[in-house]
């Protein structure tokens, strides 16, 4: 049951905006597909995608996330115990038809995106009015990457999304051990700083998933909130999904990289050179995590 309550402030008092389900499943699907990148961090590829005469199904939505992972999105108006099984059925079909999906990506997003599809981490996102406790338990026990997202409409022009459960799709790896002792010079010190930043990002809260790509590691909840590039000689570069125009920029520490080419996702660059830099960056890390 959704616990969020929303109020209008009116003339010194308040008027509650009552949450409601969509009139039809198609209303949820149309809204999400029209705003998929903003809502889910997924680039929209296709709607009601047919799986052929043998499989005889239609995938509600297909997309590609910010890390290049294929995404199946399934919608339900209310609570439906079959939504996860249905979505996994389609996800299995997708993994078995990689060439067809890559052609779709090439047609919609270009050859570069098609060549970088991340098949090691395909995802299922379910968007529904609610879920049972059995759904939540099933997701956490499953080997696939699954996100359960609950929606509510508020009034005529507001929608709320809440991530109910997330599965990473692979066994959880232990966090790197923080080394203590004398400060090390050169490459080893910077690698330790990168490991420490990784530990901080993974420890921000429940449901953080680390996605490893060749050029960067991404950290996401439903969407990416941070990414770390391989450490350079003297700096670790962290990119955050925060609006750079709303952050106080600091020379050689925090930079707006909007429109500048870089690996990873996010337009706010944080350069870490020391443990002190990591400490003063943590408020930004938490803000980006909270917004994802």
Residues 239-267: pLDDT tens digits?
A: 999 999 999 999 999 999 999 888 999 99
Give pLDDT, residue 38. Answer: 94
Handedness of CA 222, 227, 230, 231 (dihedral sign): negative
Helices 83-96 and 133-141 sit at what angle, rounded to 10 degrees? 30
pTM attached to this predicted model? 0.78
Res. 173: pLDDT tops 80: no
Whole-number Å distance between alpha carbons of 272 and 237: 6
Res. 171: pLDDT tops 50: no
Please compute the mean of the pLDDT values over residues 132-144 and round it to a whole number.
88
Q: What percent of the chain has pLDDT over 70?
A: 93
In CATH terms, the fold of domain 6-168 is Trna Endonuclease; Chain: A, domain 1 (3.40.1350)
Which range is least confidently modeled, 32-41, 180-189, 208-217? 180-189
The structural domains of the chain, with segments of one domain joined by +, span 6-168, 186-291
Res. 186: pLDDT tops 80: no
pLDDT single digits (tens) 86-129: 999 999 999 999 999 999 999 999 999 999 999 998 999 999 99
Please compute the mean of the pLDDT values over residues 157-180 and round it to a whole number.
68
The single residue listed with the structure tokens 């402030």 is: 9
Structure tokens at 73: 């999105």
pLDDT single digits (tens) 5-64: 888 888 889 988 989 999 999 999 999 999 999 999 999 999 999 998 777 789 999 999
Average pLDDT over all residues of the chain: 90
Res. 279: pLDDT tops 90: yes
Pick the more confident residue, 204 or 178.
204
Which range is least confidently modeled, 21-35, 162-176, 211-225, 229-243? 162-176
CB 123 within 8 A of CB 71: yes
Please, which residues have CB within 8 angstroms of residue 140's CB and are 6 or more apart in sequence? 165, 167
Give pLDDT, residue 251. Answer: 94
């Amino acid at each position: 049951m959704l616990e969020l309550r929303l109020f209008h402030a009116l003339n010194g008092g308040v008027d509650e905006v009552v949450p409601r389900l969509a009139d039809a499943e198609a209303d949820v699907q149309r809204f999400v597909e029209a705003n998929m990148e903003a809502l889910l961090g997924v680039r929209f590829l296709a709607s009601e995608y047919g799986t052929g005469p043998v499989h005889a199904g239609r995938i509600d939505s297909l997309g590609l996330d910010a890390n290049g992972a294929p995404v199946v999105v399934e919608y339900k108006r209310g609570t439906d115990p079959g939504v996860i099984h249905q979505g996994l059925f389609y996800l299995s079909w997708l993994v078995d038809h990689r060439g067809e999906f890559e052609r779709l990506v090439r047609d919609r997003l270009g050859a570069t995106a098609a060549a970088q599809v991340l098949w090691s981490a395909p995802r299922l996102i379910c968007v529904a009015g609610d879920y049972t406790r059995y759904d939540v338990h099933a997701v956490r026990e499953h080997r696939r990457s699954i996100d359960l997202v609950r929606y509510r409409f508020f009034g005529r022009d507001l929608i709320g999304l809440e991530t109910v459960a997330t599965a990473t799709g692979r066994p959880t790896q232990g966090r790197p051990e923080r080394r203590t002792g004398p400060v090390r010079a050169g490459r080893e010190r910077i690698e330790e700083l990168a490991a420490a930043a990784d530990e901080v990002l993974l420890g921000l809260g429940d449901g953080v998933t680390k996605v490893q790509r060749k050029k960067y590691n991404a950290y996401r909840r439903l969407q990416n909130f941070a990414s770390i590039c391989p450490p350079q000689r003297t700096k670790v570069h962290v990119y955050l999904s925060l609006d750079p125009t709303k952050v106080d920029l600091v020379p050689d520490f925090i930079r707006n990289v909007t429109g500048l080419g870089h690996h990873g996702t996010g337009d706010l660059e944080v350069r870490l050179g020391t443990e002190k830099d990591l400490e003063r960056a943590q408020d930004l890390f938490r803000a980006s995590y909270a917004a994802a």
